[in-house]
Structure 1
Amino acid sequence: METMPAGRLDVAAGRFAVEEVPVPEPGPGEVLIEVRAAGVCLSDAHLIDGSLRPLYLAGEKVTLGHEVAGVVHAAGPRLVGDWAPGRRVLLAAGQSCGVCPSCVRRRPCPRVLTRGVDYDGGWARYALAREDTLVPIPDGLPFEQAAIIPDAVSTPYAAVVGTAGVRPAQSVGIWGAGGLGAHAVRLARLAGAVPVIAVDPLPVARERALAFGADAALDPAAPDFTAAVLRATGGAGLDVALDVAGVPAVREQAAAVLGAAGVLVLVGLTHAPLTITQGTRFSYLGNQVRGHYGSGPGHIEELIRLATTGRLDLGPSVSGLVPLTEAPHAVERLTSGADRPVRLVLVP
């Protein structure tokens, strides 16, 4: 039996390690992908520390990794498309469950499964993918840049252009300039937002946000924080505030600097309660809170076009390539916050 290394999480025991596992075989409608690059996300770290748990995982172990790119290695039976060996692809970060009444009726699935959470992901030499989750990528797009498009880029993209509906000349504040937040800065600028204000307690993150196109980068603990936001927005307050950190204090601070009809978009995930302290002000200004999760149909393809035409440079987003065998070190580097990488990418 042929085996391969894979980054496996024992969910019940809370133990993560790179182990040798059997190479999977593609079933009907599936393709076996030879992984060339797989992103390391803070969600992976949260799975390892137990603060995030799978909802639909069938067993006790799962191979992590929801940001994956590679080439077709082998195809299973009954495929609709032509997935010849060697074809370059990235994998969508999730898939419909395929068995619920909505899936049977070809309606939106209410229990979407996440790759590397609810079923095996791409921290491995090979990964299985259902045919409908494959997205072709052109030869000119490096694997490490393609891999991070699902989630690291597509989630803030969908938040900016979809959930928030950012329009040119609107003011946008982004709390958290890590992996998702740094891309939110770049994408808000691409959408025409002005000013784009990044908010992060770490100087290295604020410096990077400026390099990614922020017009201002503020320390949330600064005593003149509110005054600085008002100065940057001509006294009007923010049209859109994105909480990418998933921290209750961030949401309070962001809501307090919204302008008339301003929208707070919850991108970062947390189980903590949502509170609006200045409720009367929030209602008087007609503010809104909108939840956000992942990305929708077409967003990945749009980002591929933006990246391959030079409108969106993802080169600076890759903070380093790390061998798959050193996955635990990559997770530690991400969570330590020492250099606050945008995205580390595992290479099998």
Structure 2
Amino acid sequence: MLAGRLNVSTGKFAVEEVDEPHAGPGQVRIAVRAAGVCLSDVHLIQGMLKPLYLKGDSVTLGHETAGVIDEVGEGVTGLTVGERVLLQAGEITGGAVLTRGVDYDGGWAQYAVSSAATVVPIPDTLSFEQACFIPDAVSTPWAAITATAGVQAARAVGVWGVGGLGAHAVQLLRMIGAAPIIAVDPLPGARERALQFGADLALDPADGEFASLVGEATGGTGLAYAFDFAGVAPVRVQAARSLARWGKLILVGLTNQPLTIPDGTRFSYLEQQVRGHYGSGPESVLELLSLVALNRLEFSRSVSGILPLAQAAEAVRQLDEKEGNPIRLILVP
């Protein structure tokens, strides 16, 4: 079968022929119908992210995957051949958090094997192209908003970086009643998209009037919550400066750069907080699927392009260069 493989030692990525995997005990195999391309995949290829638990040097990328079950392993109950499913982006094994497509083979392939515990049925009304990226692209901001930050309605929120995760964060924040929502991105197209997704205000971080505009929008109090989806050190400085008393800075975007608090005394005096966030638990995906079923959410606007699996390298290039300002590019075998 075809698979998008990365050698993490050499940094070489290629779509190549590999042996088909088969479902072992406690596993299922799915025929992949759609797989999302995430900035984390780009960072893996570029060497900015390194797998912690990968056995060997090579891995099939792709942690956002949906398809149809076509093999059921020994001991698996409650799942049948032909079911439409998505795969959770990872699992906890032996106390370690393992990420699909990072620490073990993922969904940039014609077939993918998964632990039965990470398989989630999806309704016939939800397309594979929209279902595949609910784990991570939607569930990560959802978990950051609801679990890590505990966002309350009618509280001011800032979202730095309106890409694949940030755009969904704006949509989700609007749904739960956060207000005002201030989106921050250097790209005009991203700011326009933020307004379309429900932001009340969209600002360029380089705007000389940035601080006063945030103050005006929040009645002079600042932000109750500031989310960094960019993983850029200057973003975190600006976001921290924008916080209100008891405000929380939530670090979702990943970076190996140090965190700097611009005024430590002020930060302590105002009793502000910094919280790290990574991924989401299985419950977040289930909650989102229930909201989709109840017509509270839909993600057709998030599918920015569909490419064949053989063109995975081109999809990576488009996302890395922000060509067309994509939210999610989708690979189909």
TM-score category, normalised to shorter length: over 0.9
Task: Please state if 1:86 is matched with 2:71.
Answer: no
User: 1-side partners of 2:302 and 2:214: how far apart?
Assistant: 27
C-alpha distance in structure 2 between counterparts of 1:199 and 1:32, whole Å: 41
- Residue ranges of structure 1 left out of the alignment (5+ in a row): 101-108
**Which residue number corresponds to residue 315 of structure 2?**
330
Q: For 1:238 and 1:281, how far apart are their aligned partners in 2?
A: 15
Contact 1:161-1:191 within 8 A present in 2 as well = no
- Between the aligned partners of 1:325 and 1:201, the Cα distance in structure 2 is 32
Q: Structure 1-normalised TM-score?
A: 0.95
Aligned equivalents of 2:22, 2:119: Cα separation in 1: 17
User: Within 5 Å, which residues of 2 pair with 1:101-250?
Assistant: 109=95, 111-250=96-235
Give 1:310 shift. 1.3
Give the AA of the match of 2:81. Answer: P
1:263-321, Cα deviation, whole Å (9 max, x unpaired): 00000011111110111111111100001011123110110111122101211011111
Given candidates 53, 58, 81, the residue that maps to 1:56 is 53
The corresponding residue for 2:256 is 271
SS in 1 for 2:18: strand
SS for the counterpart of 1:22 is coil
Aligned counterpart in structure 1 of residue 12 of structure 2, from 12, 15, 20:
15
CA contact (8 A) 2:88 2:282 kept: no
Looking at structure 2, the residues matched to 25 and 148 of structure 1 have their Cα atoms a distance apart, in angstroms, of 24
**Cα distance, 1:338 vs structure 2:** 2.7
Distance (Å, rounded) in 2 between the aligned partners of 1:123 and 1:296 = 22
Q: Is the deviation greater in 297-306 or in 111-120?
A: 297-306
Q: Considering only aligned residues, what root-mean-square deviation do their CA atoms show, in Å? A: 0.7
Deviates more, 1:81-90 or 1:30-39: 81-90
d(CA) in 2 for partners of 1:338, 1:300: 29
Q: TM-score, normalised by structure 2?
A: 0.99
Aligned-partner SS, 1:272: coil
Match of 1:316 in 2: 301
What's the CA shift string for 1:119-154, capped at 9, x where partnerless?
Answer: 000000000000000011011111111101000000
Q: CA deviation at 1:191?
A: 1.4
Runs of 4+ with >2 A deviation: none
CA distance in 2, matches of 1:10, 1:29: 28
Secondary structure, aligned partner of 1:299: helix
Give the aligned partner of residue 27 of structure 2.
30
Aligned-pair CA distance for 1:85 = 1.0
How many residues were matched structurally?
Answer: 333
**Mean CA deviation greater in 299-308 or 127-136:** 299-308
Worse-superposed segment, 323-332 or 289-298: 289-298
Question: Which letter does structure 2 place at the counterpart of 1:149?
Answer: I
Structure 2 gap segments, 5+ residues each:
none
